[in-house]
Structure 1
Amino acid sequence: MGAQLWQTTWPMAIGVMSLLGFNLVDSLFVAHLGTAPLAAQSFTMPVSFIVIGIQVGIGIATAALISRALGRDEKARAHRLGSLVMIGGGVTLALVMMLLWWLRRPIFSAMGAQDSLSGLIDAYWAPWLVTSWIGAMLYLGYSLFRAHGYTRFPGLVMVITSLINVVMDPLLIFGMGPFPDLGLPGAAWATMISFTAGLMIVGVALSRRDWLTLAGIKEEWRVSWREFTGIAGPAMITQLMPPLAALLATSIVATQGNAAVAAWGLANRMENFALLAVLALTMSLPPWLGRCFGAGRWNEIHDLMILSFKVVLVWQLVVGVVMAGASPWLSHWMAADDEVSHALSILIPFMLPSYALLGLCMVVVSSSNALGWPRRAMIIAFARLFVCYLPCVAIGAWVAGIWGIAAGAGIGNVLAGLLAGSMFYRGLKQKHAAS
């Protein structure tokens, strides 16, 4: 089982590492433009997570339903579901992008963005929304491959798109060679080019398979919409909670000034990169669990989850301790501004080691959706963010400024992981005993 878990996870781990790596590199290039552009980008990040939350929620439902259909040997239905996801997801996400553009001013104002940043934010936000739609469609394509048990191809495309983005970033941000000097918006245009290339590759690959069909799609929608929305609805709410929490957390951090917001944005980029193994596991594990769920193999599910918990805790603790020890060097390397570097050096040692428990919580949420417990996943996600994390960050900011924010974030992650692990294990034990 351990070998199987490794074989399905390592391609996604490499893909996620490259994807998050270019996001981190993207912020490092922007950091050289100054504190204001980096702060502007940091303000947009939590709002960008709204789009990501919706696309991930759709992707979770996709992986769950298609993998269950394949587990029951219902291949024709799996193909109809794939078509529904690509069409319905594309329309839904396009409407979301338009709404976010229309509401941009009140959203960023409520987050505490200063008027001096509004021009930078608008210039970056317009191309980024188009980029986000292209990236969302690319993610849904990845979800189809994962649902069918193919993780190597999505991982390879992630690497290709990341390399394209890393090459285009400096060319468009700083105007190297024949390319225009676009500054902060250049980061969005570079990502748009890379995602477009990736979507073209995935589109060609899908056209060579019989995973999509329009035959019987209307009837399939009438039959499946309740089941799909029953998973996607709670999953979207679950995935939208982190962006909402990030909005509130950023507004708390904004009370400490632009340098703190810039450091917080860099720390969040580091968080995603540090959790790459966990993120890969949340992509590769649910389709496997869905097949086991469809076949009623609860003994295998139990053993698989225990193994996953052990891997996450050990791996993330080692990564967190190493990065915390290197925090003085990392903060100086990532931020050119001394004030931003100082704030980042405070955040890293408190936050990075706590990701061992945060990673456990993330695996629990993704696995709960695959096992037919979307409401439980939603409850765990809510408790993690609004009972454990945000109160600790808010209290920490009130008591000790940036030091308190760092400590509060770390304590909140630990509490969330302990709560999620205990809730999930109790439910899994009951199912295992019943089976």
Structure 2
Amino acid sequence: MAYVTSSPFKSLYRQTLPMLVGLFAIMGSQFIDSVFIAQLGPQPLAALGFSVPIYQLIVGIQVGVGIAATACISIAIGERRDSYAKYLSAIVLGLGGLVVSLLIFLLWFYQQGIFSALGAKQNVISLLPSFWAPWLLSCWLGAFLYFGYSICRAFGQTLIPGKVMILTSVINVVLDPVFIFTFKMGLAGAAWATCIAFFIGLVVIFKSIFKQGYMALPKNSRVIRAGTSAIAKFTAPALLSQFIPPISAFFVTIIVASYGILAVGVWGMVSRIEYVLIVLVLAVTMALPPMIGKLKGEQSYTEILKLIKTAIFSIVAFQLALAILMMIFVSPITSLLSGEEEVKSLLMQYFFLIPISYAGLGVCMISVSACNAIGVPSAALHASLLRLFVCYLPLVWLGSEMYGLMGLFIGASLGNIFSGVVGWKMFIGQYNKLTAPDVACFTSNQTN
């Protein structure tokens, strides 16, 4: 469990690399999935685009529960309460499973109303009967898989989740063309392929969790109440914070839908490309919380700041370099993604305008993750709200009103950059509050 060393960069690299490889495999499989679906025609691609905000809602909940899991468990480990940490794993799995199952049921029950509210036409809604059930099942299985990842990461184990991510991605890519084209299941085939891949991943990850002894049933109701209370303290604001991306995606999708089915399809593709381009950010935000939580349990606050600064410097440098590469190779990339000139034109605007802003988005995401990990999830929520209602949505709307889809891209880019400034200021303010008592105590002792 010694996953924080004297070198912040080495610690970050060791914990992030397995998650980076695993996430890259997932994003790559999702991208290939989009390419297969795009071959089915504009309606299936649009259905995929309309599912993006709903998918982000489900992911937001599972990530919110995962944040609570890694924070509570890693802090308990830092305080050398290993048995309690194992009890928390079981409590997280039970609570998270209950919440996600309820959400999946509601999404199934109100499926047509949700798609109609997003602006989907009848030719897209007609695809729901065959597509929605397996797609929701894949989301349900994926949520439990993510809880397994969170438990492993909280105990400092990122290698196992990374391997399972690669395994499920490979299975998904192999099964996709079989179910979509060979079995002629179309859009539903892609969802069933994901279900099978996630089910196999669940078997592997939880077999490892029980083998490593990362989970144990609480011994009495007092432990359950204490664990539930601790997790709820983190989960409530973390969940609200995770609702921000799907809410944002919901409103942006409505704006994009006003430009037609083609624009929605491209926006759905762009949303998946975005996950690939910020894969390092996602990996770092998954690797950081257990490291920060353990350091907080040990009260090593100086090391926390060193770790965060190292992470931010690495992310900014990587994202800026990646954005420059995207600009240089924009023509062959867009040609690879689509043969239609109108789609290529929109994708070219995206690659020139938005990837450069992912450095700012990365700073915001790391700052929010750090606030959760140091035990101030309310600050993380405030930063996320400011990003949505002050930095992002107003500029996206204004840009769209002024310059159409290109203006929307410009607004999104500026919103990401401003959100980085807001996120960092929020984190550093909370860090100073956290360390102020120690500084005051130190000064007092020196005087005496």
TM-score by length of 2: 0.94
Q: Please point out which of 297, 320, 324 is paired with 2:300.
A: 297
**Once the 2 structures are TM-superposed, how far is the Cα of residue 122 of structure 1 from its aligned partner?**
3.9
Q: Please point out which of 414, 422, 426 is paired with 1:411.
A: 414
SS in 1 for 2:16: helix
**Once the 2 structures are TM-superposed, how far is the Cα of residue 387 of structure 1 from its aligned partner?**
1.3
Whichever residue aligns with residue 138 of structure 1, its letter is: L
CA distance in 2, matches of 1:109, 1:323: 35
CA distance in 1, matches of 2:168, 2:428: 38
Q: Please point out which of 86, 100, 108 is paired with 1:79.
A: 86
Whichever residue aligns with residue 267 of structure 1, its letter is: V
What's the counterpart of residue 117 of structure 1?
124
SS in 1 for 2:217: coil
CA distance in 1, matches of 2:194, 2:113: 26
CA distance in 2, matches of 1:217, 1:53: 31
Which ranges of structure 1 fall in alignment gaps of 5 or more residues? Answer: none
What's the counterpart of residue 201 of structure 1?
204
Range 3-12 or range 340-349, more displaced: 340-349
Contact between 1:58 and 1:232, CA under 8 Å: does it hold in 2?
yes
SS in 2 for 1:182: coil
What's the counterpart of residue 240 of structure 1?
243
Whichever residue aligns with residue 48 of structure 1, its letter is: Y
Contact between 2:91 and 2:227, CA under 8 Å: does it hold in 1?
no
Change (3 A) 1:83 1:29: same
What's the counterpart of residue 185 of structure 2?
182
Q: Please point out which of 8, 17, 24 is paired with 1:17.
A: 24
Whichever residue aligns with residue 38 of structure 1, its letter is: L
Which ranges of structure 2 fall in alignment gaps of 5 or more residues? Answer: 1-6, 439-448
Give % identity.
38
Q: Please point out which of 70, 79, 97 is paired with 2:77.
A: 70
Matches within 5 A, 1:263-342: 263-342=266-345
Please say if 1:192 is aligned against 2:195.
yes
**Once the 2 structures are TM-superposed, how far is the Cα of residue 430 of structure 1 from its aligned partner?**
4.4
**Once the 2 structures are TM-superposed, how far is the Cα of residue 355 of structure 1 from its aligned partner?**
0.4
CA distance in 2, matches of 1:120, 1:212: 41
Whichever residue aligns with residue 396 of structure 2, its letter is: V
Cα deviation digits, residues 360-418 of structure 1 (max 9, x gap) = 11111111100011010001011112211111111111111111111111111111111
Q: Please point out which of 356, 381, 395 is paired with 1:353.
A: 356
Contact between 1:84 and 1:217, CA under 8 Å: does it hold in 2?
no
Contact between 2:367 and 2:426, CA under 8 Å: does it hold in 1?
no
**Once the 2 structures are TM-superposed, how far is the Cα of residue 299 of structure 1 from its aligned partner?**
0.6
CA distance in 2, matches of 1:199, 1:184: 23
What's the counterpart of residue 4 of structure 2?
none
**Once the 2 structures are TM-superposed, how far is the Cα of residue 232 of structure 1 from its aligned partner?**
0.5
Contact between 2:58 and 2:100, CA under 8 Å: does it hold in 1?
yes
Contact between 1:361 and 1:417, CA under 8 Å: does it hold in 2?
yes
What's the counterpart of residue 35 of structure 1?
42
Q: How many residues align?
A: 431
**Once the 2 structures are TM-superposed, how far is the Cα of residue 209 of structure 1 from its aligned partner?**
2.7
CA distance in 1, matches of 2:433, 2:141: 42
**Once the 2 structures are TM-superposed, how far is the Cα of residue 145 of structure 1 from its aligned partner?**
0.6
Whichever residue aligns with residue 67 of structure 1, its letter is: S
SS in 1 for 2:184: coil
Change (3 A) 1:165 1:280: same
Contact between 1:31 and 1:336, CA under 8 Å: does it hold in 2?
no
What's the counterpart of residue 167 of structure 1?
174
CA distance in 2, matches of 1:41, 1:363: 28
**Once the 2 structures are TM-superposed, how far is the Cα of residue 246 of structure 1 from its aligned partner?**
0.3
SS in 2 for 1:211: coil
TM-score by length of 1: 0.96
**Once the 2 structures are TM-superposed, how far is the Cα of residue 217 of structure 1 from its aligned partner?**
4.8
CA distance in 1, matches of 2:359, 2:218: 46
**Once the 2 structures are TM-superposed, how far is the Cα of residue 219 of structure 1 from its aligned partner?**
1.9
What's the counterpart of residue 57 of structure 1?
64
Cα deviation digits, residues 310-362 of structure 1 (max 9, x gap) = 11111111112211332232222112433222222212211111101001111
Please say if 1:220 is aligned against 2:223.
yes
CA distance in 1, matches of 2:417, 2:399: 15
CA distance in 1, matches of 2:51, 2:264: 11
What's the counterpart of residue 428 of structure 2?
425
CA distance in 2, matches of 1:329, 1:386: 36
SS in 2 for 1:380: helix
SS in 2 for 1:256: coil
Cα deviation digits, residues 219-241 of structure 1 (max 9, x gap) = 22212322211101100110111
**Once the 2 structures are TM-superposed, how far is the Cα of residue 433 of structure 1 from its aligned partner?**
5.1
CA distance in 2, matches of 1:301, 1:433: 15
Whichever residue aligns with residue 264 of structure 2, its letter is: V
What's the counterpart of residue 377 of structure 2?
374
**Once the 2 structures are TM-superposed, how far is the Cα of residue 272 of structure 1 from its aligned partner?**
0.5
What's the counterpart of residue 445 of structure 2?
none
Cα deviation digits, residues 199-234 of structure 1 (max 9, x gap) = 011122123132222242532221232221110110
CA distance in 2, matches of 1:163, 1:68: 34
Cα deviation digits, residues 266-300 of structure 1 (max 9, x gap) = 11111100111110101111000001111111110
**Once the 2 structures are TM-superposed, how far is the Cα of residue 81 of structure 1 from its aligned partner?**
0.6
Cα deviation digits, residues 54-83 of structure 1 (max 9, x gap) = 110111100011111111111111111111
Q: Alignment RMSD, CA only?
A: 1.3
What's the counterpart of residue 393 of structure 2?
390
What's the counterpart of residue 255 of structure 2?
252
Contact between 2:91 and 2:228, CA under 8 Å: does it hold in 1?
no
Contact between 1:44 and 1:121, CA under 8 Å: does it hold in 2?
no
Whichever residue aligns with residue 47 of structure 2, its letter is: A
What's the counterpart of residue 106 of structure 2?
99
Please say if 1:128 is aligned against 2:135.
yes
CA distance in 1, matches of 2:395, 2:312: 25
Whichever residue aligns with residue 71 of structure 1, its letter is: G
**Once the 2 structures are TM-superposed, how far is the Cα of residue 31 of structure 1 from its aligned partner?**
1.0
Cα deviation digits, residues 148-173 of structure 1 (max 9, x gap) = 00001100110011011111111111
What's the counterpart of residue 446 of structure 2?
none
**Once the 2 structures are TM-superposed, how far is the Cα of residue 265 of structure 1 from its aligned partner?**
0.9
SS in 1 for 2:95: helix
